[in-house]
Structure 1
Amino acid sequence: MNLALALPYEDKVSNQTIWRNNMAGDLLIENLSLDDKNTFEAAGATIQKAIYHSDKAWRQYENVLIERLNNPGPSARGDLPAHAYIRFDANNAGMVDAYCNSRINKAKLNNALVKLSRPLGIVSANPNLANWPGNGDWDSAANILLTALANGSVVIEYYKQDNSPVINVFGYDNDWGKYPE
């Protein structure tokens, strides 16, 4: 099993804790809608204001992502296009649980979560994500997330927001760190 190694450090640009060194998401979506991103944030996730592989333009490297999604194997992270992360922190599991106490909120979160897939190879040691996204019940993905948070944080990797590459959306924003491969 290939496990991602994520080491935290404090980013001086955004004053956030940033996870680097072979970082990979537990869950992946190529194109994240702003509505789903807002749902994740309302449910207690943190939007990490950092762009990884910031030197890899979407048009030049999208074929690498597509090939690796279509031919899963060991988690090869090199030459992936610019991407960003959203983190559901295990320390905030209570906030996610409280959000899900409302059936409407839980359904909204579940509808956003079912769009996510497991990423390029197995990168997470969290065994509760193995059956992602669940059995198809109206709340199965939300329940898997809640269970997974008992064993550690869950990170979502995304490459586009509302059909625009993250480097185009946030690349000129000085609040976002840029980290080339």
Structure 2
Amino acid sequence: MNGIKIVMYDHTYAESLADMWNQSGQNWGGEQVSRTAEDVINENEKMGNICAFLALDGDEVVGYCSFSEYKQDEGASYIPLLNVRTDHIGKKIGKTLVKECVKKAMESKWPRLDLYTWQGNDKAVPVYKKCGFFWERRDGSTHLMNFMPYVMRTEAVKQYFDTFDWYDDSVREIKIESDGRSCILT
């Protein structure tokens, strides 16, 4: 991630963030987006996020990831939105932004960090799984859950994680399929 810097969103980045969204239309089904700095400021105030992280390449915003409380489940934090500008995909920016949210979740009161992505977003699933997420087997949605905030606060394994880095040392096989097991009762 040469030259990429991660910062917290504030309104001084609104114009560059609007430009990132305007350049990212093909990431979102080819939609033509035309956002202004004012749109970005209004959207970020209405979203109710705890915070949002930006990836900067020099002065340009090239990635965005928000962190929030999960309103549908009082036991979790949530990533409502992640985007990396099309010309920066494949540079580990998305992974770095998600890891920032995992770190924020570990500092919070919630034992879990959740996110959803659209079905068929096969490019994103490996990134999420490499960041510790498990894909819940569920019909009609792609729901991923990360229990690292709980695990890292568990006294029995704290010492282990002083020497083992979950992300760098993990040897988990990454498959683009849900992680749940099916149980058929007869």
Q: Tell me the TM-score normalised to structure 1 length.
A: 0.28
More contact order relative to length (CA 8 Å, sep ≥ 6): 1
Rg larger in structure: 2
Q: Tell me the TM-score normalised to structure 2 length.
A: 0.28
